[in-house]
Structure 1
Amino acid sequence: MAPPLIVPVKSSGRGAARNALWLLWQDKSAFVSAILLALVLGAAIIGPWLLADQARAVNLMARNAAPFSLSKGWLFFLGADALGRSLLARIIVASQNTIVIAGSAVLLSMHVGGVLGLIAGYKEGWIGAILLRMADAIMSFPSMLLAVIVLFVFSPGIENVIFVLAVSRIPIFLRTVRAEVLEIKERMFVTAARAMGAKTERVLFRHIAPMVMPTVINLAALEVAFVMLVESGLSFLGIGIQPPEVTWGLMVADGRNYLGSAWWLSFWPGVAIMMVTIALNLLSNWLRLVTDPVERWRFQTVAGAK
């Protein structure tokens, strides 16, 4: 049986960005997910600048206005909350805090956990043992419970929420990176670098870290979705972001008392959370395939068959 036809990604006349877009187009679900995430990111950047006043404007005449009506303007297409504020405007404005909290927490935990994982995997010995015990101590508390305890002691706020969520996710990156390093450090190119007198810092950050990055990036995409859900849960419990700041989770919490009469108050921000979470998971799966040379041939084989 003849081997499958593999069409390599053409690099002539294309940059890395065009190659990535070409591979993204091969996975239609990931392509749609990337578009959705780009729209959400754009809304998070420019939404508060354009719609901040509309999101705060109180209109008691439109209190709990039903969705799918343009009689009060397009901003009220998704309905209004208990104070007559536009749900669409508030969802767009709330996207900034939601994305900033989730993204900042994951970036912080990724950098700290990644560096500690490199050290724990490369050094082993008592240094690696101490770092692993610290990770085990943090992981012994569920993320939500740890966040509840810390935020109950300290005042809830954006900085405290980001910090506690980042700390709770550090062990995930630490243990994942350590497992990768334990295997990579035995490869020939690492042995060669050591034999040539490369310092530990150079071996870690020049030779090993680039090999670990694909796994870390894939994990980060999943963790953003998880952290977003945890933050929504904290806001729902009333110990996350406090008014006048707003997040999707806080909007769900505000609407829970009106589920019987105005379901849309919690439904639409809940849909936003669900869609972004699903999109991140689908895009993470695509990143795993594309950054792994062993799996990338699947896209190329499909293209060759067409």
Structure 2
Amino acid sequence: MPRPPGSGSDRPAHRLAGLRALLATLRHDRFALVSLIFLVCVLVLSLIGPTWLSDEARAMNLRARNAPPFSLDDGWLFVLGADALGRSLLARIIVASQNTIVIAAFAVLLSLLAGSVLGLIAGFRDGWAGALLLRFADAVMSFPTMLLAVIFLYVVEPGIQNVILVLAISRLPIYIRTVRAQVLEIKQRLFVQAAIATGAGTGRILFHHITPMILPTVLNLAALEMAFVMLVESGLSFLGIGIQSPEITWGLMVADGRNYLGSAWWLSFWPGLAIMLVALSLNLLANWLRVAVDPAERWRLETGAGEE
């Protein structure tokens, strides 16, 4: 007996069709496509680069101190120049990308998971639990992210784990408030009310009916937050209270080069450019994702694809 449309066996096919439609819109949005390719390249370099270039990033060559860019006298690794200790800037940027991306990714992941769960509870439960979570979010949001991170890292020892922790905590309210607002609207819809009327459990309603509806918004927010957290981490390293040597991040490289801006501008320029390009790519990709997953806005991309 044939199964009716929309049955469980059809779900994988529908999901595959939806994925193909999403990739089709990406193919016709050149800015988003270039951004995705660039971010994938950066991710690959951050994964394999430190294995190959760790020694080169730390090797000092005092004869090449502050060597200018685009000179290959000391090898292709010095195409972007050298720092004050004669270390290859290209090798250091590639090695530093791992710490920079790991810190931002883990901070965003922790805040996304914890904030989404707390936001689901705050939106679905109207009692004291939701009110308490909102007051917690208000208290954290009363402190700017940078100020909260500076205070926390001044009290504890700066390090990768502590930087991730404070950045994750400082961004929790964004997810709590966003997810709560979405849940408050979605739980009034008929399909949720029907699930409640049929006796479905709270967990099933939250994770089977509501979570798929808010997931696109949360992913779009996470892409924007990734860029923001990366900039905050770079600012902390620039101030000297973030990642400490011998660890290295792009922000720390910018900080190390600030004393040579008049004589060797490239020490801060290249890592600063890397931060800017990654943040810009994340914002462009998030903008595409926001439009692509919203049926009310998707027609813009589909119209552009049809015209071609």
Question: Do Structure 1 and Structure 2 share a fold, with TM-score over 0.5?
Answer: yes
Hey, what does 2:249 align to over in structure 1? 247
Q: List 4+ stretches of structure 1 deviating above 4 A.
A: 14-18
- Indicate whether 1:66 and 2:64 are aligned: no
> Among 291, 294, 306, which residue is 1:292 paired with?
294
Q: CA deviation at 1:23?
A: 1.5
Task: For residue 257 of structure 1, give the secondary structure of its aligned residue in structure 2.
Answer: helix
Instruction: State the AA in 2 paired with 1:22.
Output: A
* 2:156 equivalent among 154, 157, 172: 154
Alpha-carbon shift at residue 303 of structure 1 (Å): 2.1
Q: 1:304 is matched with which residue: 279, 300, 306?
A: 306
Q: How big is the shift at 1:302? A: 1.9
Segment of structure 1 superposing worse, 20-29 or 181-190: 20-29
After TM superposition, the structure 1 stretch with the greater mean CA deviation from structure 2, 296-305 or 22-31, is 296-305
Matching of residues 235-274 of structure 1 within 5 Å:
235-274=237-276
**How far apart are 1:298 and its partner, in Å?**
1.6
Tell me, yes or no, if structure 1 residue 220 matches structure 2 residue 213.
no
Counterparts of 1:150-229 in structure 2 under 5 Å? 150-229=152-231
- Residue in 2 that maps onto 1:27: 29
Q: Unaligned 5+ residue runs, structure 1?
A: 1-10
Matched, 1:111 2:113: yes
CA offset at residue 19 of structure 1?
A: 3.6
- Residues paired across the two proteins, number: 295
Distance 2:80 2:307 in 1: 44
* Aligned residue type for 1:38: V
Q: Cα deviation per residue 1:197-244 (whole Å; 9 max; x = unaligned)?
A: 001111111110110000000000000000000000000010100000
Asked whether the 8 Å contact 2:234–2:252 carries over to 1, the reply is yes
2:94 paired residue number: 92
Match of 2:4 in 1: none
The alpha-carbon deviation at position 20 of structure 1 amounts to: 3.3
Amino acid at match of 2:200: A
Equivalent residue for 1:39?
41
TM superposition shift of 1:16: 5.5
Aligned-residue sequence identity (percent) comes to 70
1:58 match: secondary structure: coil
Distance of 2:101 and 2:280 partners within structure 1: 15
Q: Give 1:232's match in structure 2, choosing from 216, 228, 234.
A: 234
Q: 46-55 or 295-304: which moved more?
A: 295-304
TM-score (norm 2): 0.94
State the distance in 1 between where 2:95 and 2:18 align. 33
State the alpha-carbon separation in 2 of the partners of residues 128 and 172 from structure 1.
15
Superimposed CA distance per residue, residues 32-58 of structure 1 (whole angstroms, 9 cap, x where no aligned partner) = 101110111011100101110100101
1:234 maps to a residue whose letter is L
> Which stretch shifts more, 290-299 or 74-83?
290-299
Q: Is the 8 A contact 2:25 2:305 kept in 1?
A: no
CA RMSD after TM alignment = 1.3
In the alignment, the residues of structure 1 paired with residue 163 and residue 26 of structure 2 have an alpha-carbon distance, to the nearest angstrom, of: 33
Shift of 1:26: 1.1
Q: Tell me the SS of whatever aligns to 2:228.
A: helix
Which residue of structure 1 lines up, in the alignment, with residue 132 of structure 2? 130
Task: Give the distance between the partners of 2:190 and 2:17, measured in 1 at CA.
Answer: 30
Instruction: Provide the TM-score with structure 1 as the length reference.
Output: 0.94
